[in-house]
Amino acid sequence: MDERDAERELERARRLEQLYHSALEHPEAERTTFVAAECGADSALRQELESLLAHDKADSFIEEPALEVAARMVAQQRRRSGDDSGGVVLGQTVSHYRILEKLGGGGMGVVYKARDTRLGRLVALKFLPEDFAADPTAIVRFQREARAASSLNHRNICTIYDIGEEAGRAFIAMEYLDGQTLKHLIESGPLPTGRLLPLAIQITEALEAAHAQGIIHRDVKPANIFVTARGQVKVLDFGLAKVSPHRQIVATGPTGPRFSDAGSREQLTSPGMALGTVAYMSPEQARGEELDIRTDLFSLGAVFYEMATGHRAFDGNTAAIVFDAILNRDPLSISNLDPNLPEGLAHIMAKALEKDRKDRYQSATEILDDLKAIAAGRRARVARALSNRKLWLAAIATLAILAVVAVAFSIHQRRLHQLSEQDTLVLADFSNSTGDPVFDDTLKQAISVQLAQSPFLNILSDAKTRATLRLMAKPPGTKLTPDLARDVCQRAAAKAYISGSIASLGSEYVIGVDAINCETGDALAQEQVTAANKEQVLKALGGATTKLRSRLGESLASIQKFDTPLGEDTTSSLEAVKFLSLGRKAQQEKGGDAAVPYFKHAIALDPNFAAAYAALGTTYFNLREPALANENLKKAFELRDRVSDRERYWFSAYYYHLVIGDLDKAVETYQLWAEDYPHDNVPRGNLGQIYGFLGQYDTGVTELLEDLRLNPDTVAGYNNLMSHYTALNRLEEAKAAYQRAKARNLDAPFLHWNLYGIAFLQKDAAEMQRQATWAAGKPQGENMLLSAQSDTEAYAGHLDRARELTRQAMQSAAQNDQQETVGQWQMNAALREAEFGNTTRARQQIEEVLAKSPNRDMQILGALALARIGDSARAEQMADDLAKQFPQDTVVNRYWLPTIRAANEINRKNPAKAIDALAISVPYELGNPSPQAEIGAYLYPAYIRGQSYLLLQDGEKAEGEFQKFLTHPGITVNCPLGALAHLQLGRAYTLMHDPAKARAAYDDFFGLWKDADADVPALKQAKAEYAELQ
């Protein structure tokens, strides 16, 4: 196209658009005039404008996103492709049922014989009609009814084993029955009274049992009554008629056909509905009125009538004729049809078939009484005809009844205590059919918080769930559908799984929470609640969960003690809960850093959401960002009155433990937590860690073993166990702990950090290298192992290499954006320089770290390093500052401040004061006092105390202190102080006038530093001292 043409065309297009909008601004009546005036002689423009205006409609054209349009297309295609069987094919496995043969089909769906591949038993699998699948509320109603029916436990009611959905098809798995339906049975003619009575009694008993539970059948008819080969009645499909999604045409009344809305009124039938169903309806059902149990009694009468006569009580060629008969006509008199029928039976039918339900039997029990009376009368007659010689049979019958009572009693007992304290539950993901993604994950999270309050219930941890999924070769993030939850439950040897669902019903929400025995598939407890609106959902769920706890056997006292309602105190923001759960998911799937933005968003949505602060704080803690960790954990602690008991323990313990460092209070809180929630591993694990801080490694090991018994998938537990065993010089056990973790497919950088340390102690250079190689390139592991390698080099006096490795460690941490970790490795190096006598370099590094990340640990180590390079004034000032900042911190006040102050006293040549200052640290000196940093700063109080004794010329006491380094190699590992301790021992022996031992000690040191960098001041001084020894 010519450029000018193109320009002209664009100009014309612009004009067209302008005119279009201008025209629309005019009232419709004036538009033609406007268009004519504007377009003038340009008739082409006018035509185009007019045709465009003609196509201006505010309708749904392209208003639906294309993705949805395409999806609807696919949906239509699927529906039309005659996919009515839902694609069920013989031999196919649906859920865990293998389809064996088709048993029949009807208004309520197709029934297949199938085998439960898990339990090996035969089941009847009934697929609900396609319509059900297409209507989520119908599915919910169906499930609700099926659940209700599945709670019916009666010998004459067909047991429902399972309710499921696969590929959009809802199904129920029922007891597989061998026999035929009553419909088939009576096709060949009326039943003799002797046959009829026992069947009628059983059918009525089934209804009596259901009515006692408030369940109305609504579709009592011969096709729904099964008679087994042994003559036992099984009534099928309780309540299911209620949930048909069809909007039904209701009987023709004086005003002609009426429509009835699904849900608001009772269901009737659609034109296509089999007459077989219509024929047994009660008049009130035909009129579409509210139903009560009496509708079933009418239908029962109709069934009895047919059983006795072989004819339908109400019959006709069309539904309209049948309705008319039901509403207006009496059935033919039974006595006329069969004069031999017992009088009583005719009376029962007549009374059951009263048009007005007020005139009818009012309960199944009444019918049963009458039926039994007839039966008894017959029996009495029969008995009279026989002799009394069979009385003993009656005695046997009595015994049999007693046995039945005993069985019933034991069943009752079991139901009372559904779960025992040792039983674990698996939480399935909520099935959310509302279409509102805010409920995804959120409700599971919420219910998990609610259930977790219960000391009685034991929820399978996320870690265990993931581990189990791994065993099943499923990705860790796999959605835990009820079926999958059942699998997980069985594999994890848990007792039951909790499956929840939410669906919208108009503007309301229907929430269901079920606990299902994963072995048998039986429902242990079920709760269903509705929430009037979205805001009420959390609260409603909370209520349902509390009830569920009680149904599962938790004592009322326990529920009352541990029940902080959801949605009131914790948070009322569904969105916030959603982001919290998204964060937890991200944490599991991608690690802590991925989780941070989610937690932050949750906090932004609800600034009082304690759990989100706690999650964020803990994540920061594990990301080695202590300042950020403390800030958030503190906030969670401050909000602790708004949380559940278990959370309160959690937040308080973390606050004492990690924020203010009051380990005594932390220990107390963890112990209380462990007492109230004996299944919780967290308090055990953290107690184990704290005992490590305190130097009580044995006690720590005990707690950690308990931690890992309760939850063998806590990787931190293995880490701490390895550290503790190493500290106790039990290296093989430490390695075994790693193997245990490995056997569970658990891995983490610090496990390898521990393995590296163990290899160092065992002088296994190849293994050390293997661990370093393992960590290379791993964001969290690499910097950690690089720093460990730097310590190893420093331990051997290779200061240059140590510095290089520290540089790499810092760089690696920086790449991973772990700023506080960068500082940590630098401070580690500074302290080392200080001990080695490189004052200037040490000072420079200390200043850099303190400027960048002045968190608690860096202040501590910075003050210590400053003291060690002789800057007592600054060290003292920082120590005072630390005392003010962390007045309750056990480690600061009892380990570090005494050490820093003692170091200053040494600088001031007051060794006696130094020893006094250190007195308080004695019980803690073997501890690992650097909880947030893997820094080679162990046994410092002993080291400084030893130096003080050297200054006091007390060689023996000094020797005692430095000897600690040799007896506890597992505590110091590759910490360079451990190498220097040999030198100090040499000095102690010199004071003790034991030149042989002194020389040996110096030799040990020179052995360790055999190819050390020559310019290390500590080495030069040692050499000078050694020369004097000669």
Partner 1 sequence: MPDFSDAPSKVEVTQLLKAWGTGDDKALDRLTPVVQQELHRLAHRCMSRERPGHTLQTTALVNEVYLRLVDVNAVEWQDRAHFFAISARMMRRILTDFARSRNYQKRGAGAVQVSFDEALVVTPEKDGDIMALDEALTEFAVLYPRQSQVVELRFFGGLEVKETAEALKISPETVKRDWRFAKAWLRRALSDETIGNANEDATEDTNDDDSDEPRKESA
Quote the strand ranges of 536-681, DSSP E.
none
Query: CB-wise, 143 or 824, nearer to partner 1?
Result: 143
The whole-angstrom separation of Cα 815 and Cα 535 is 43
24 part of the interface to partner 1, by CB under 8 A: yes
> Which region among 47-55, 398-406, 493-501, 821-829 touches partner 1 (by CB under 8 A)?
47-55
386 part of the interface to partner 1, by CB under 8 A: no
Q: Which of 29, 66, 229, 766 binds partner 1 (CB under 8 A)?
A: 66
Quote the strand ranges of 350-495, DSSP E.
424-427, 431-432, 458-459
- The helix (H) or strand (E) run that includes residue 474 is none
Query: CB-wise, 40 or 435, nearer to partner 1?
Result: 435
168 part of the interface to partner 1, by CB under 8 A: yes
491 part of the interface to partner 1, by CB under 8 A: no
In a 3-state reduction of DSSP, which class is residue 120?
Answer: coil
**CA dist 994 to 173, 397, 716, 1000, 1027, Å?**
88, 100, 46, 10, 15
Task: Give phi and psi for 841, each to the nearest 5.
Answer: -60, -40
Which residues share a beta bridge with 99? 114
Nearest distance in Å: CB 158, partner 1: 28
**CA dist 347 to 27, 261, 609, Å?**
76, 37, 68
Which residues share a beta bridge with 105? 110
**CA dist 614 to 494, 600, 746, Å?**
28, 11, 24
Query: CB-wise, 62 or 996, nearer to partner 1?
Result: 62
Q: Mark residue 34 as left, alpha or beta (left: phi above 0; alpha: psi -120 to 50; beta: remaining).
A: alpha
Q: Mark residue 109 as left, alpha or beta (left: phi above 0; alpha: psi -120 to 50; beta: remaining).
A: left
Closest CA to 572 of 615, 535, 534: 535
> Which region among 70-78, 106-114, 175-183, 412-420 touches partner 1 (by CB under 8 A)?
70-78
- Total residues contacting partner 1 by CB under 8 A comes to 60
The whole-angstrom separation of Cα 982 and Cα 986 is 6
57 part of the interface to partner 1, by CB under 8 A: yes
256 part of the interface to partner 1, by CB under 8 A: no
Q: Which long-range contacts (CB under 8 A, 24 or more apart) does 359-366 make?
A: 360/294, 360/297, 360/298, 361/294, 361/297, 362/294, 363/208, 363/211, 363/293, 363/297, 364/204, 364/205, 364/207, 364/208, 364/211, 364/293, 364/296, 364/297, 364/300, 365/208
**215, 152 in Cβ contact below 8 A?**
yes
The two three-digit tokens of residue 560, written as one number: 């009352």
Query: CB-wise, 4 or 21, nearer to partner 1?
Result: 21
864 part of the interface to partner 1, by CB under 8 A: no
4 part of the interface to partner 1, by CB under 8 A: no
135 part of the interface to partner 1, by CB under 8 A: yes
Pattern 574-603, partner 1, x by CB under 8 A:
-----------------------xx-----
229 part of the interface to partner 1, by CB under 8 A: no
77 part of the interface to partner 1, by CB under 8 A: yes
What's the distance, Cα to Cα, between the start and end of the chain in Å?
Answer: 103
245 part of the interface to partner 1, by CB under 8 A: yes
Q: Which of 232, 363, 478, 819 binds partner 1 (CB under 8 A)?
A: 478
Nearest distance in Å: CB 109, partner 1: 15
72 part of the interface to partner 1, by CB under 8 A: yes
Query: CB-wise, 69 or 411, nearer to partner 1?
Result: 69
Q: Which of 2, 475, 851, 996 binds partner 1 (CB under 8 A)?
A: 475
817 part of the interface to partner 1, by CB under 8 A: no
* Footprint (CB under 8 A) of partner 1, residues 270-309: 270-271
Q: What's the farthest any 2 CA atoms get from each other in the chain?
A: 135
Q: Which of 29, 61, 386, 412 binds partner 1 (CB under 8 A)?
A: 61
Nearest distance in Å: CB 585, partner 1: 11
Query: CB-wise, 8 or 184, nearer to partner 1?
Result: 8
Pattern 424-443, partner 1, x by CB under 8 A:
---------x-xxx--x---
87 part of the interface to partner 1, by CB under 8 A: no
Query: CB-wise, 250 or 467, nearer to partner 1?
Result: 250
Nearest distance in Å: CB 721, partner 1: 33
136 part of the interface to partner 1, by CB under 8 A: yes
Nearest distance in Å: CB 247, partner 1: 6
Closest CA to 197 of 348, 314, 388, 415: 348
Q: Is 219 annotated as catalytic?
A: yes
69 part of the interface to partner 1, by CB under 8 A: yes
Query: CB-wise, 68 or 1028, nearer to partner 1?
Result: 68
Quote the strand ranges of 716-799, DSSP E.
none
Interhelix angle for 976-991 vs 940-951, to 10°? 20
Catalytic annotation, pick one of 116, 162, 219, 645? 219
Query: CB-wise, 75 or 406, nearer to partner 1?
Result: 75
Q: Which of 3, 56, 356, 1011 binds partner 1 (CB under 8 A)?
A: 56
765 part of the interface to partner 1, by CB under 8 A: no
> Which region among 46-54, 274-282, 564-572, 664-672 touches partner 1 (by CB under 8 A)?
46-54
Compute how many other C-beta atoms are within 10 angstroms of the C-beta atom of residue 485.
25
Nearest distance in Å: CB 577, partner 1: 16
Query: CB-wise, 132 or 738, nearer to partner 1?
Result: 132
Task: Give phi and psi for 12, each to the nearest 5.
Answer: -65, -40
**CA dist 28 to 31, 32, 82, 175, Å?**
5, 8, 47, 68
Q: Which of 15, 20, 819, 888 binds partner 1 (CB under 8 A)?
A: 20
Query: CB-wise, 430 or 650, nearer to partner 1?
Result: 430
Secondary structure (H, E, C), 148-199: HHHCCCCCCECCEEEEEEECCEEEEEEECCCEEEHHHHHHCCCCCHHHHHHH
> Which region among 68-76, 553-561, 811-819, 919-927 touches partner 1 (by CB under 8 A)?
68-76
Give burial (CB, 10 Å; 0-12/13-18/19+) of 264: exposed
Give burial (CB, 10 Å; 0-12/13-18/19+) of 27: exposed
Nearest distance in Å: CB 469, partner 1: 12
Query: CB-wise, 257 or 1007, nearer to partner 1?
Result: 257
Q: Where does this chain bind partner 1 (CB under 8 A)?
A: 9-10, 13, 17, 20-21, 24, 51-57, 59-80, 131, 133-137, 139, 167-168, 245, 247, 259, 262, 270-271, 433, 435-437, 440, 475, 478, 597-598
Catalytic residue numbers? 219
